[in-house]
Amino acid sequence: MIRLEFLRWIRSKRYLILILIFSIFSLISTLSSYYSKDIIEHLGTNGAQIIMPKVTWKDLITSYLKSTSQICVFVAVYIVSLYCRFGENESEKLFYKTRIRNSGRVLFSKLMVSVMINLFAMFIGALFTLYIIWTLFDNFDFEKTIVTFFIQMLTFTILIIVGTSISVYSNSPFFSAVIMELFILASSIVQNIDVIQKWSPFNLLIPNDFLNEISFEDYKKQFMVLFLIFIISILAIRFRPINKLDISFRRKL
């Protein structure tokens, strides 16, 4: 079944959209951050001298993390949720309604392949960023960079699963993508509140603090919450009865 889902992804060309988005955001965010001073000077400042701090390799990584934590999450959740819907035609809908008692097995196959495709797209984006940093800077901390990318990819993947679980119950990929984006936006607004900062897993979407000398112990609570919502989302998908799913394509979103 996993092989079949891979073939469906390949035939639909949706994987190209994800790879393209991550690649474009990687190039734009890193290069625009590195050449920000030149860009501002080129736009003209009426002779005023611009004093900007020297751009470091950490600035480029932070720029990449921030750009992918917004639009890329929305697009990824929408595409995966859309792909994980049941039935692309009437015969397939009838098959799911009459032959499958629980949606978990089918959804897990779809979700597993979707996660792997997204991880590959994120890997391509991170690889582009890593290459740009390597060419522009003589020295950077490779180990901390890899750890930072890994944490973002882990958080990104779990948020995709959470968004998919919302879509399974709402039968609306667009709605689930909007909900996830609103959660991220709300988290960024209230992130300075101490209690929320300590517990919010959305802060792990931009884990640029790991580029510095910090301990994982400082983020233990955020990882615990992230793991908890992952378990809840998996269980929600696993035990969603197929006969209660709205396998209707009247709504295109």
Residue 249 lies in a domain: no
Distance, CA of 9 to CA of 15 (rounded, Å): 7
Confidence of residue 237 (pLDDT cuts 50, 70, 90): confident
Residue 252 lies in a domain: no
* pLDDT tens sequence across 101-141: 556 667 788 889 999 999 999 999 999 999 999 999 988 89
Position with higher pLDDT, 124 vs 236: 124
Position with higher pLDDT, 174 vs 43: 174
Number of structural domains the chain divides into: 1
- Residue 241 phi, psi dihedral angles, 5° rounding: -65, 140
Residue 81: pLDDT over 80: yes
Residue 250 lies in a domain: no
* Cβ–Cβ < 8 Å for 155, 201: yes
Residue 230: pLDDT over 90: yes
Distance, CA of 36 to CA of 56 (rounded, Å): 12
Residue 175 lies in a domain: yes
Confidence of residue 6 (pLDDT cuts 50, 70, 90): confident
Residue 26: pLDDT over 60: yes
Residue 53 lies in a domain: yes
Full residue range of the structural domain in which residue 132 is found: 2-244
- Structure token pair of residue 227: 């793991």
Distance, CA of 216 to CA of 223 (rounded, Å): 9
DSSP 68: I
Position with higher pLDDT, 184 vs 238: 184
Position with higher pLDDT, 171 vs 66: 66
Per-residue confidence (pLDDT) for residue 90, from 0 to 100:
54
170 burial class (0-12, 13-18, 19+ CB within 10 angstroms)? Answer: middle
141-162: b (≥16 Cβ within 10 Å) or e: eeebbeebbebbbbbbbbbbbb
Confidence of residue 247 (pLDDT cuts 50, 70, 90): very low
Confidence of residue 36 (pLDDT cuts 50, 70, 90): confident
Highest mean pLDDT among 31-35, 87-91, 198-202, 223-227: 223-227
Quickly tell me which residue has 């919450």 as its tokens: 225
Residue 251 lies in a domain: no
Q: Which residues, listed in sequence order, are joined to residue 102 by a DSSP beta bridge?
A: 241
Residue 253 lies in a domain: no
